[in-house]
């Protein structure tokens, strides 16, 4: 059964569990540090980096302001190009539409391109209930699926797994879903990638239906864009007869030309490459090239709720590059699962309460899953001001339903303090930030001990003291 984040413990409980898992912490630390370094070098290479970010933020703000017009324009253009457009208000409606479309084709095994939205709505589980097996083809998504696991990162959903764990999952599970992994499979990343290539190959060649998301949709032309590395995306977009793309309504861009901004930012910020190996774009259907049938399912699922929040709506600018989680000192220590959502890290801490409303203990705890150090503000390619949104959402929680508020607030503050343990300055700051939330400052000039951090914008390092045993045993988190 495909897993979904259901009845997940609130951040404090989940984080406490996660920080005790030394293997997990070592894996997350190693991966986030690798990518931080690459990203830093490639962002620094562009003297116009800030200009690109400013442009990206402005384009997204324009899209959000006139989202109705852009979606109508997109719909018209997709139809003119031979596509069929569907609208879904929530997860259930989206799943029903996609299931129906797959059933019409009569297929019971389909291929998927990694898509966080389809994880968000639990599409794989919904298809499974209808007797349809949806096989993930992105390497990391396949590791998660084969391991009956949950995603922990938006770019690399299996970031919490190391090579040895991946080898074990491949050896154990591949044979149950197609071509088995070789018995003597080692844990070298090249060998693992080769095993995935062979396992996936016939699935691509046989597949009649593919489901994808999209990174961008162009209103002016009805074009969809997918950025990927492995070529599994290209396989899914090109070889099947039917393509169903399920996309959040906020993914639209006004013009084709706007891609010159986003394609220069995305891979640099996400994987530390100048461009990802493959970027594909398509407009409706093309005779003799690719799928003959194309469906676009536009999904709201809380996005209009987020849009109505004057401070929080900027979270909808997100292009899912993952940089905010890679840089986050809390994420580094808890991993992604603690956030109880397919969107972890700083973006998860703001987006989930905005999409779902902060009135259950899980989402109400998320705005506290931050030290307010502001490192995420600095790396976000669309200039989301996380600190502002976190404080606004803390104030919403504090003003909101009392049953949720008191336990959530207290426990969450304690949890983050625990995560960043034995740092008195930190603890004081977090407490003060909790109070600050109630008065809602709208700029970054925070009171008390936070002040210095927001000025210097450095990521506070945790003292070795609290992690001494762990540190020693893992050789500084490298094992």
Partner 1 sequence: MSAREAILGRIRAAVADLPDDPVEVPRAYLRGAPGITPGDREATVELFVTRVTEYGATVRRVPEADLPTAVAAALDERAARTAVVPDGLDPAWTAAWKGQVRRDVPALSTAQLDATDAVVSACAAAVADSGTIVLDAGPGQGRRALSLVPDVHVCVVREEQIGSALPEVIGRLDPRRPITWISGPSATADIEMIRVQGVHGPRRLTVLVTH
Task: Please list every residue from 297 through 336 that binds partner 1, using CB under 8 A.
Answer: 298, 300, 304-305, 307-308, 310, 313
Please report how close the Cβ of residue 154 comes to ligand SF4 at its closest, in angstroms: 6
Please say which residue, 62 or 149, places its beta carbon nearer to partner 1: 62
Q: What DSSP designation does 289 have? A: B
Least CB distance from residue 273 to ligand SF4, whole Å? 15
> Binder to partner 1 among 119, 124, 138, 332 (CB under 8 A)?
138
Whether the CB-CB separation of 353 and 22 falls below 8 Å is answered with: no
What does 373 bind: partner 1, ligand SF4, none (CB cut-off 5 to 8 Å by kind)? none
Q: Quick check: 246 binds ligand SF4 (CB under 6 A)? A: no
Question: Segment 382-421, which members bind partner 1 (CB under 8 A)?
Answer: none
Q: Does 323 bind ligand SF4 (CB under 6 A)?
A: yes
Q: Within 347-376, which residues bind ligand SF4 (CB under 6 A)?
A: 347
Among 167, 234, 303, 320, binds ligand SF4 (CB under 6 A): 320
Query: Cα(276)–Cα(217) distance, rounded to whole angstroms?
Result: 18
User: Using the rule CB under 6 A, is 78 a contact of ligand SF4?
Assistant: no
CA distance 311 to 290: 42
Sort residue 129 into left (φ over 0), alpha (ψ -120 to 50) or beta: alpha
382 binds, options ligand SF4, partner 1, none, Cβ within 5 to 8 A by partner type: ligand SF4
The one segment of 228-236, 343-351, 382-390, 444-452 that binds partner 1 by CB under 8 A = 228-236
Report, in Å, the least distance between residue 357 CB and partner 1. 14
> Which CB atom, from 153 or from 333, has the smaller least distance to ligand SF4?
153
Among 348, 381, 437, 477, binds ligand SF4 (CB under 6 A): 381
Radius of gyration of the CA atoms of the chain, in A: 22
Task: State the first-to-last Cα distance of the chain, in angstroms, to the nearest integer.
Answer: 32
Q: Is 211 in the site for ligand SF4 (CB under 6 A)?
A: no
Could you tell me which residues are beta bridge partners of residue 334? none
Nearer to ligand SF4, 154 or 398 (CB): 154
Does residue 166 bind partner 1 (CB under 8 A)?
yes
Indicate the DSSP class of residue 286.
B
Give the separation between CA 164 and CA 94, rounded to whole angstroms: 36
List all residues 6 or more positions away from 176 whose beta carbon is below 8 Å from its beta carbon.
Answer: none
260 near partner 1 (CB under 8 A): yes
Q: Which residues lie closer than 8 Å to 16 by C-beta, 6 or more apart?
A: 415, 418
Closest CB 248 distance from partner 1, rounded Å: 11
CB of 240 to ligand SF4, least distance (A): 29
322 near ligand SF4, judged by CB under 6 A:
yes
Write the DSSP symbol of residue 149: -
Residue 463 binding partner per list ligand SF4, partner 1, none, with a CB distance cut-off of 5 to 8 Å that depends on partner kind:
none
Q: CB under 8 Å to 15, separation ≥6 — which residues?
A: 330, 333, 334, 338, 369, 415, 416, 418, 419
Distances (CA, A) of 213 to 47, 151, 224, 235: 32, 16, 9, 14
Q: Shortest Cβ distance from residue 129 to ligand SF4 (Å)?
A: 30
Sheet holding 293-299, edge to edge: 84-88, 293-299, 242-248, 209-212, 109-112, 133-136
Site residues (CB under 6 A) for ligand SF4?
154, 318-324, 347, 379-382, 384
């Amino acid at each position: 059964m495909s897993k979904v984040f259901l009845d997940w413990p609130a951040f404090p409980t989940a984080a406490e569990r996660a920080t005790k898992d030394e293997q997990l912490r070592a894996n997350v630390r190693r991966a986030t540090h690798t990518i931080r370094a690459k990203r830093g070098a490639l962002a620094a290479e562009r003297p116009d980096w800030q200009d690109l970010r400013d442009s990206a933020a402005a384009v997204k703000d324009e899209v959000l302001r006139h989202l109705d017009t852009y979606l109508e324009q997109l719909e018209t253009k997709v139809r003119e190009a031979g596509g069929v457009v569907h609208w879904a208000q929530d997860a259930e409606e989206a799943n029903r539409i996609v299931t129906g479309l797959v059933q019409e084709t009569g297929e019971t095994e389909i291929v998927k391109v990694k898509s966080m939205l389809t994880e968000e709505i639990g599409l794989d589980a919904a298809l499974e209930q209808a007797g349809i097996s949806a096989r993930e083809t992105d390497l990391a998504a396949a590791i998660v699926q084969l391991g009956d696991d949950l995603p922990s990162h938006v770019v690399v959903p299996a970031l919490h797994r190391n090579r040895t764990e991946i080898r074990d999952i491949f050896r154990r599970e591949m044979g149950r879903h197609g071509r088995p992994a070789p018995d003597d499979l080692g844990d070298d990343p090249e060998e693992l990638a080769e095993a995935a290539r062979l396992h996936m190959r016939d699935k691509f060649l046989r597949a009649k239906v593919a489901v994808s998301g999209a990174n961008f949709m162009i209103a002016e032309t009805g074009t969809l864009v997918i950025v990927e590395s492995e070529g599994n995306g290209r396989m899914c977009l090109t070889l099947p007869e039917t393509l169903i793309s399920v996309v959040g309504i906020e993914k639209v861009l006004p013009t084709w030309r706007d891609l010159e901004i986003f394609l220069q930012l995305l891979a640099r910020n996400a994987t530390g490459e100048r461009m990802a190996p493959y970027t594909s774009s398509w407009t409706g259907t093309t005779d003799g090239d690719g799928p003959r049938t194309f469906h676009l399912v536009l999904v709201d699922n809380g996005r209009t709720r987020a849009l109505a929040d004057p401070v929080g709506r900027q979270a909808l600018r997100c292009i899912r590059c993952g940089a905010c989680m890679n840089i986050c000192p809390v994420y580094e220590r808890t991993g992604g699962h603690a956030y109880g959502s397919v969107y972890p890290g700083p973006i998860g801490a703001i987006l989930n309460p905005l999409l779902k409303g902060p009135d259950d203990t899980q989402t109400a705890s998320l705005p506290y899953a931050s030290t307010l150090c502001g490192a995420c503000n600095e790396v976000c390619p669309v200039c989301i001001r996380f600190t502002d949104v976190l404080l606004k959402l803390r104030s919403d929680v504090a003003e909101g339903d009392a049953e949720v508020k008191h336990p959530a607030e207290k426990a969450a503050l304690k949890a983050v303090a625990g995560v960043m343990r034995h740092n008195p300055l930190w603890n004081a700051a977090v407490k003060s930030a909790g109070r600050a939330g109630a008065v809602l400052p709208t700029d970054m000039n925070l009171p008390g001990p936070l002040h210095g951090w927001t000025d210097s914008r450095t990521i506070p390092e945790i003292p070795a003291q609290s992690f001494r045993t762990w540190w020693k045993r893992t050789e500084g988190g490298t094992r």
